Amino acid sequence: MDFVKITTENFEEIVELQRAYKLEIGECMPTDTELESLRSAIECEQIHFYGCICDNSLIACCSICFTYSTFNYGKSGVFEDFYIQPEYRHKGIARKLVSYAYEQSGVGSLTVGCADCDVEMYQAIGFAIPLGNMLAFGE
Look at residues 45, 50, 37 and name the one whose alpha carbon lies nearest to residue 83.
50
Burial level of 79, CB count in 10 A (0-12/13-18/19+)? buried
Name the residue with higher pLDDT: 31 or 70. 31
67 pLDDT band, cuts 50/70/90, is very high
pTM of this structure? 0.91
Cα Dmax for the chain: 41
Mean pLDDT value across residues 32-60: 96
For every residue of 76-93, DSSP letters joined together read EEEEEEEEE-GGGTTSSH
Contact between residue 6 and residue 51 where contact means Cβ atoms under 8 Å apart: yes
Question: Per residue in 83-135, pLDDT tens?
Answer: 999 999 999 999 999 999 999 999 999 999 888 889 999 999 999 988 887 77
Contact between residue 59 and residue 85 where contact means Cβ atoms under 8 Å apart: yes
> Average pLDDT of the chain?
93
Per-residue DSSP letter, 8: G
What CATH architecture does domain 2-124 belong to?
A: 3-Layer(aba) Sandwich (3.40)
The residue extents of the domains of the chain are 2-124
